Structure 1
Amino acid sequence: MRYVRRVPAPPLDRFVDDVYCLTGVPRHRRMIVPPMPSAHLFLNLGAPFLLRDSDPSMPVVPVLGGLFAGVWTRRFLVEYPGLVRLVGVHFKPWGISPFARVAANELRDRWVPADAVWPRSVDRLRYHLGDLTSDTEMLRVLEEELRSALAEGPPRGLDLVQHTAGRLAAAGGAIPVGALSGSAGVSVNHLATQFKAHVGLTPKRVARIYRFARLILSVDARGPVDWPGLAHTAGYFDQAHLSREFKDFTGHTPTEYLALRRRIPAERDFPPDHGPMPAE
């Protein structure tokens, strides 16, 4: 399966990590996606694929057209068809806010039909993308749609959230919330209110996800892994704390995760296979 991505030009890069195309026959049909510091847009141009929540009480969601998803605090599973054709957006945690007609806290841990967020835009966009064969051209069209949907001015409070969440990202989540609010000159409660409005989570929950992302992206399964050292570097209390978080976020213990990665290595130059992992 081919994965092509690019970072959009300003001003979109303030809100979007990348836009991407995913096409071809998947090497792994079922992938577990742990919590990561991003929100999503999926625009499916091929056969339906399925999204399964790790909460078994939640229904399976078939993706026929487009879906927006906020930041997830628990893992979910993607089940691809035999042939994949989709484009997507990885938003920064605060990145959906300037585009959406839905509050960020309503998108947390949810998949929402794209029409509810972009009324009347999705069918037109899928129509324009449908006949294109060039990845570059598909990404250009998607960027143009994002630019046209971008609000003229940032919503109130977004500058504060972007600044403080950017500090969390740079530090891998290892900054106390009190230090964030103090340096920004606002109360902890005010900062939490703005994060809930623009991210859907409190700063503490965002920090937790950044810390895990820093951890899992630093694991090289090809050699010995110093879990105590990684726990210290990522800001966990100890290795037991790391292990509990790892199991919660991936469904695997660190030892099980290493065994899986060594048995089924990530594809070279295929970023979606680095944090996400094959489901067996």
Structure 2
Amino acid sequence: MEYVGRVPAPPLDQFIDDVYCLTGVPRHRRMNVPPMPSAHLFINLGGPARLWDSDPSVPPEVFTDGWFMGVWTRRFLFEYPARVRLVGVHFKPWGMSPFVDMPAIELRDRWVPVDAVWRRSVDRIRNQLGDIASAGETLRAVEAELRSRLAEAPLHGLDLVRHTSGRLETSHGAVPVGALADAAGVSGNHLATQFKSHVGVTPKRVARIYRFARLILSVDALRPVDWSELAQTAGYFDQAHFSREFKDFTGHTPMEYLALRRRFPAERGFPPDSGPMPAD
């Protein structure tokens, strides 16, 4: 499967980490995806994709066109079609807010069809691209759609969330939430309210996800792994808490996860996103 991705041009780069295109036959059809510090848009130009929530009470979904996903606080399972033609957008945790006319909390731990948020946008993109558009043409069309959807006026509270989220990102979730609120000159409750509106979760939850992402992305599966040292470096000072959160977020113990990483190394040419793992 071929991956082509890039950081979009300004002003989109203020809100989006990357836009990418996947095409071809996947090496693994089903992927187990842990929480990561981002929200997502997927536009499916190929066969149906399937998603399962790790919460068994939530019914699975099949998407033929595309879907939005807010920030996830638990893992989910994703199944590629037999042949993939998919465009993805990794929004910063708060970055989806100025593109959709709904509170981010309504997208937390949910997948929502694109056309339920953006009316008839997938049909328009499909008509532009046809069946033989290159990855570059596909990315340009999606970036044009994103620019047309970007809110013209600044959203209330978004600058506050952007600034404090940036501190959480650079510190990998290590800055205490109380210190963030004090530095911004607001109460903890006000900060939490704005995060729920623009991110969908509290700043404390965002900090937890950044901390976990730092740990996962620091694992070098080609070398012996000292889990205690990695956990402490990432900010886990309670080993029991680390073990529980790791199992909750990945579905595996640390040693099981490491064995999978060694059994299924990342495909060459893909970005260094070591969180999702094959589930088959």
* TM-score relative to the length of structure 2: 0.97
- Distance in 1 (alpha carbons) for counterparts of 2:255 and 2:88: 32
- Structural mapping, 1:141-180, within 5 Å: 141-180=141-180
Per-residue CA deviation, residues 124-152 of structure 1 (Å, 9 max, x unaligned), is: 12221333431111111111110011011
| 1:238 alignment partner in structure 2 | 238
Task: Measure, in 2, the Cα distance between the counterparts of 1:267 and 1:246.
Answer: 24
Q: Which residue number in structure 1 is paired with residue 104 of structure 2?
A: 104
CA distance in structure 2 between the partners assigned to 1:249 and 1:205 by the alignment = 13
Is 1:200 matched up with 2:200?
yes
Are the equivalent residues in 2 in contact too, given 1:101–1:118 (CA < 8 A)?
no
CA distance in 2, matches of 1:70, 1:178: 25
SS across alignment from 2:129: helix
In structure 2, C-alpha distance between the alignment counterparts of 1:247 and 1:129, rounded to whole Å: 41
Query: Cα–Cα, structure 1 residues 273 and 156, in superposed 2: closer, same or farther, change >3 Å?
Result: closer
Matches within 5 A, 1:1-280: 1-271=1-271, 274-280=274-280
Moved more, 203-212 or 222-231: 222-231
Query: Which residue identity does 2:269 align to in structure 1?
Result: D
* Distance in 2, Cα, partners of 1:218 & 1:163: 25
**Rounded Cα–Cα distance in structure 2 between residues aligned with 1:81 and 1:72:** 22
CA RMSD of aligned residues (A): 1.2
CA contact (8 A) 1:7 1:18 kept: yes
Aligned residue pair count: 280
CA drift at 1:102: 2.0
Moved more, 263-272 or 36-45: 263-272
Structure 2 alignment gaps of length 5 or more: none
Please tell me the residue identity of whatever aligns with 1:269. G
Runs (4+) off by over 4 Å? none
